[in-house]
């Protein structure tokens, strides 16, 4: 994620009194986190292919949010510790290379298909490109075939604000002192979501409002702060994580999706933490490892997320009455297109970025 210079001892995190690590914690390459992405995207794809916003999808998105908060915060804290500053230009350039090219290709294809059937969508396209799609959708803008970009909008709003706020905070306090504030903000966001739900707010307002969904991102931020500060995080194995995943899905399904707007994200938050704690210590066992397939999905999760909804929702316009075999074919088509996106768009651009830096 870019070159790092010498250590800055004056701004380093305090050494905890107990259970401290002897060397600074670093994120490094963690293959197990690809498995976390893979689990999240598989939950989301099942939801999308069912043509509804079901509990498994809301749980999966929250897992993504926790992971995003954790990864971004961990990398920013490492850069601050190593260099005494954060290179915002480089940070946003990396985010642009990772997110924009694949998004642009998806929007170009959707635009062409919509033009062929005479469906105007200029306002929704502009909302997606400016990463305000969640609020546009809440306000009634028709986001046909791209309504899933609400979560990408929330993440981009996070990417724009959080690095600046974090650096401002680090000028005043050491990282470990941010953990209580992050925990309070996380609980406030969860309370906002449930308050909106109890007050009868619209489903979209409860489910897609940035304020109502920031708790998972903030949970990931807090987890990264603890790890960076030398707090020894609990080690969980894959079996424990698997049981947690099963329990989360069962609870979501038993709720019969009646409260998925509020309940799904609330379940997904602790599940995301559990999966990260397990993923941090999951080693790459090679192509024969049982998690290899899940990690494959994780590495292509962005393309799968971008394409699964347009493919699933556009198909009935051209092939009415699609049954289970048709939906399985759509799932395979999503996987194929995501693989093409990874090989032809995402990976080459990321590789060029690494070469330049």
Task: Please give the full DSSP string across 233-261, using - where no structure is assigned.
Answer: PPP--HHHHHHHHHHHHHHHHHTTTTTHH
Give the angle subtended at the CA of 40 by the CAs of 219 and 269, to the nearest 5°.
25
C-alpha–C-alpha distance, residues 279 and 74, integer Å: 15
195: Cβ contacts below 8 Å, ≥ 6 apart: none
pLDDT < 50 positions in the chain: 1-21, 355-357
pLDDT given for residue 141 in this prediction: 92
In the block, residue with structure tokens 């706020």: 165
pLDDT given for residue 282 in this prediction: 83
Q: Is 27 helix (H, G, I), strand (E, B) or coil?
A: coil
pLDDT given for residue 122 in this prediction: 79
> pLDDT tens across 229-249, in order?
999 999 888 888 889 998 988
pLDDT given for residue 83 in this prediction: 93
CA distances in angstroms from 183 to 16, 215, 218, 264, 272, listed in the order given: 19, 9, 7, 19, 15
Residue 332 CB neighbours (<10 A):
11
C-alpha–C-alpha distance, residues 203 and 209, integer Å: 10
C-alpha–C-alpha distance, residues 211 and 59, integer Å: 17
pLDDT given for residue 17 in this prediction: 43
Tokens representing 51 are 């043509």
pLDDT given for residue 7 in this prediction: 32
238: Cβ contacts below 8 Å, ≥ 6 apart: 278, 282, 291
Tokens representing 247 are 């329990």
Fill in the DSSP letter of residue 105: H
CA distances in angstroms from 42 to 23, 56, 264, listed in the order given: 36, 9, 15
Where does the chain have alpha helices with state H?
Answer: 31-49, 55-83, 88-116, 122-129, 133-138, 150-170, 178-198, 203-208, 210-228, 238-254, 260-279, 292-299, 301-318, 324-341, 347-356
pLDDT given for residue 216 in this prediction: 98
Q: State if pTM tops 0.85.
A: yes
């Amino acid at each position: 994620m870019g070159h790092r210079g010498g250590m800055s001892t004056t701004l380093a995190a305090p050494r905890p009194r107990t259970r401290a690590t002897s060397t600074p914690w670093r994120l490094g390459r963690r293959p197990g986190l690809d498995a976390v992405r893979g689990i999240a995207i598989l939950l989301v794809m099942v939801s999308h292919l069912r043509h509804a916003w079901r509990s498994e999808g809301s749980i999966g998105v929250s897992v993504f949010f926790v992971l995003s908060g954790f990864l971004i915060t961990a990398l920013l804290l490492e850069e601050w510790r190593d260099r005494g500053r954060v290179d915002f230009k480089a940070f946003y350039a990396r985010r642009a290379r990772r997110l924009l090219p694949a998004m642009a290709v998806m929007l170009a294809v959707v635009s062409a298909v919509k033009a062929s059937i005479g469906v105007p969508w200029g306002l929704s396209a502009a909302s997606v490109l400016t990463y305000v799609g969640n609020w546009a959708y809440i306000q009634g803008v028709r986001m046909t075939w791209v309504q899933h970009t609400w979560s990408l909008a929330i993440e981009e709003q996070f990417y724009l604000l959080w690095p600046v706020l974090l650096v401002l905070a680090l000028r005043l306090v050491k990282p470990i002192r941010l953990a209580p504030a992050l925990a309070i903000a996380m609980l406030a966001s969860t309370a906002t979501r449930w308050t909106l739900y109890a007050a009868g707010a619209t489903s979209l307002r409860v489910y897609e409002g940035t304020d109502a969904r920031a708790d998972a991102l903030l949970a990931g931020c807090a987890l990264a702060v603890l790890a960076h500060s030398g707090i020894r995080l609990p080690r969980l194995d894959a079996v424990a994580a698997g049981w947690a995943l099963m329990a989360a899905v069962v609870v979501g399904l038993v709720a019969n999706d009646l409260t998925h707007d509020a309940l799904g994200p609330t379940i997904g938050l602790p599940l995301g933490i559990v999966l990260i704690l397990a993923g941090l210590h999951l080693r790459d066992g090679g192509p024969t490892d049982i998690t290899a397939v899940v990690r494959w999905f994780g590495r292509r999760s962005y393309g799968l997320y971008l394409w699964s909804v347009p493919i699933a929702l556009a198909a009935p316009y051209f092939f009415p009455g699609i049954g289970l075999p048709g939906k399985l074919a759509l799932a395979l088509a999503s996987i194929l297109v995501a693989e093409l996106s990874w090989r032809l768009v995402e990976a080459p651009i990321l590789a060029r970025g690494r070469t330049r830096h």
